[in-house]
Structure 1
Amino acid sequence: MAQSHSPPSETFDIAVVGGGVVGCAMARRFTLEGARVVLLEKAVDVLAGASKGNSAILHTGFDAPPGSLEQRCIAEGHAEFLEIRDALKLPLLQSGAIVAAWTPEEQDKLESLMEQAHANGIEDVQPLTAAAILAEEPNLASRVKGGFRVPREALIDPWSTPHAYLLQALTNGAAVWRGCEVTDGMFDGAEWVLETTQGSLRASSVINCAGLYGDILDQRLLGETFYSIRPRKGQFLVFDKAAARLVSSIVLPVPTEKTKGIVVCRTIYGNVLVGPTAEDQESRTDSSTDRDTLVQLHRKGAEILPALAEVPVTAAYAGLRPASEQKDYRIHERPERNYISVGGIRSTGLSSALGVARHVFERHRGFGHRFAALERPLQAPACGGLSEYDPRNWQEAANGGIVCHCELVTRREIEQVLSGPLPPHSLAGLKRRTRVTMGRCQGFYCMGTLARMTEGAFDVPLASVVDEPGNPDE
Structure 2
Amino acid sequence: MEKHDVVVVGGGVVGCTILHELTKHGYRSILCEKNPELVSEASSGNSGITTTGYDVDEPIELQLLQKARKLNEETYQKYNIPYRKSGAHLVAWTQDELDRLQSVIDKAHEVGVHDLYQLSKEKLRQREPHLSHDALGAVFIPGEMPVDSWLMPITLAHDALLRGAKILRNCKITNGYRTSNDDWILMTTTGPIRTAVVINCAGLYGDNVENINQSSPFQIKPRKGQYVVFERCADEVLNTAIFPFPTKITRGVLLFPSVYGHIVAGPTAEEQDSRSDRSTNPSTIDELTDYARKVLPALKHRKVIATYAGLRPGTNSKDYHIISNTERSWITVGGIRSTGVSASLAIAQHVREELLNKFHLKPSNQEERSFDASRQRVKPSFRVLPSGHVEMNGYKYKITHPLSRLGLLAKHKL
Distance 2:176 2:328 in 1: 12
Task: Report SS of the residue matched to 1:112.
Answer: helix
Distance 1:436 1:107 in 2: 35
Task: Report SS of the residue matched to 1:170.
Answer: helix
* 2:311 counterpart residue number: 320
* 2:11 counterpart residue number: 19
* 2:210 counterpart residue number: 218
- Give per-residue Cα distances to partners, 1:216-252, cap 9 Å, x unaligned: 1011x12311111110000000001135411001111
Distance 1:107 1:191 in 2: 57
Output the amino acid matched with 2:8. Answer: V
RMSD of the alignment, in Å?
Answer: 2.3
* 2:32 counterpart residue number: 40
Q: Percent identity?
A: 35
> Could you tell which deviates more after superposition, 152-161 or 71-80?
71-80
Output the amino acid matched with 2:291. Answer: K
Shift of 1:382: 3.4
More strand by proportion, 1 or 2?
2
* 1:120 counterpart residue number: 111
Q: Structure 1 residues 86, 57: CA separation in 2 closer, same or farther (over 3 Å shift)?
A: same
Output the amino acid matched with 2:396. Answer: P
Which one scores higher on RCO, CA 8 angstroms, separation ≥ 6?
2
Q: Structure 1 residues 324, 129: CA separation in 2 closer, same or farther (over 3 Å shift)?
A: same
Distance 1:183 1:415 in 2: 29
Verify the 8 A CA contact 1:164 1:380 in the aligned structure 2: no
Q: Structure 1 residues 274, 380: CA separation in 2 closer, same or farther (over 3 Å shift)?
A: farther
Q: Structure 1 residues 317, 432: CA separation in 2 closer, same or farther (over 3 Å shift)?
A: closer
Shift of 1:80: 1.1
Task: Report SS of the residue matched to 2:91.
Answer: strand
> Could you tell which deviates more after superposition, 428-437 or 41-50?
428-437
Q: Which of 55, 69, 85 pairs up with 1:94? A: 85
> Could you tell which deviates more after superposition, 229-238 or 112-121?
112-121
Verify the 8 A CA contact 2:389 2:396 in the aligned structure 1: no
* 1:143 counterpart residue number: 134
Shift of 1:328: 1.0
Shift of 1:86: 2.6
Is 1:245 aligned to 2:236, yes or no? yes
Q: Which of 356, 360, 365 pairs up with 2:351? A: 360
- Give per-residue Cα distances to partners, 1:54-87, cap 9 Å, x unaligned: 1111111111117x11112122223112222232
* 1:449 counterpart residue number: none
Shift of 1:147: 1.5
Is 1:195 aligned to 2:187, yes or no? yes
Task: Report SS of the residue matched to 2:215.
Answer: coil
Distance 1:145 1:415 in 2: 44
* 1:287 counterpart residue number: 278
Distance 1:274 1:54 in 2: 12
Task: Report SS of the residue matched to 1:12.
Answer: strand
* 1:207 counterpart residue number: 199
Task: Report SS of the residue matched to 1:193.
Answer: strand
Q: Structure 1 residues 422, 65: CA separation in 2 closer, same or farther (over 3 Å shift)?
A: farther
* 1:405 counterpart residue number: none
* 1:254 counterpart residue number: 245
> Could you tell which deviates more after superposition, 375-384 or 193-202?
375-384
Is 1:369 aligned to 2:369, yes or no? no
Q: Structure 1 residues 27, 106: CA separation in 2 closer, same or farther (over 3 Å shift)?
A: same
Is 1:85 aligned to 2:76, yes or no? yes
Verify the 8 A CA contact 1:168 1:379 in the aligned structure 2: no
Task: Report SS of the residue matched to 2:239.
Answer: coil
Verify the 8 A CA contact 1:414 1:434 in the aligned structure 2: yes
Verify the 8 A CA contact 1:45 1:178 in the aligned structure 2: yes
Shift of 1:416: 6.8
Verify the 8 A CA contact 2:89 2:138 in the aligned structure 1: yes
Q: Which of 150, 155, 160 pairs up with 1:169? A: 160
Distance 1:32 1:410 in 2: 28
Verify the 8 A CA contact 1:129 1:146 in the aligned structure 2: yes
Distance 1:376 1:39 in 2: 25
* 1:29 counterpart residue number: 21
Matches within 5 A, 1:389-400: none
Q: Which of 319, 322, 336 pairs up with 1:331? A: 322
Verify the 8 A CA contact 2:45 2:401 in the aligned structure 1: no
Verify the 8 A CA contact 2:148 2:404 in the aligned structure 1: no
> Could you tell which deviates more after superposition, 260-269 or 42-51?
260-269
Q: Structure 1 residues 123, 430: CA separation in 2 closer, same or farther (over 3 Å shift)?
A: closer
- Give per-residue Cα distances to partners, 1:279-300, cap 9 Å, x unaligned: 0111000010000100110111
Is 1:382 aligned to 2:389, yes or no? no
Verify the 8 A CA contact 1:157 1:268 in the aligned structure 2: yes
Note the residue ranges of structure 2 that are not aligned, 5 or more in a row.
none
Q: Which of 103, 106, 124 pairs up with 1:133? A: 124
Task: Report SS of the residue matched to 2:192.
Answer: strand
Task: Report SS of the residue matched to 1:299.
Answer: helix
TM-score normalised by length of structure 2 = 0.92
Query: How many residue pairs are counted as aligned between the two chains?
Result: 403
Distance 1:211 1:269 in 2: 27
Note the residue ranges of structure 1 that are not aligned, 5 or more in a row.
1-8, 385-392, 394-408, 440-445, 447-474
* 1:234 counterpart residue number: 225
* 1:267 counterpart residue number: 258
- Give per-residue Cα distances to partners, 1:262-288, cap 9 Å, x unaligned: 111111122100000000111000010
Verify the 8 A CA contact 1:14 1:36 in the aligned structure 2: yes
Shift of 1:415: 8.3
Distance 2:189 2:143 in 1: 43
Task: Report SS of the residue matched to 2:107.
Answer: helix
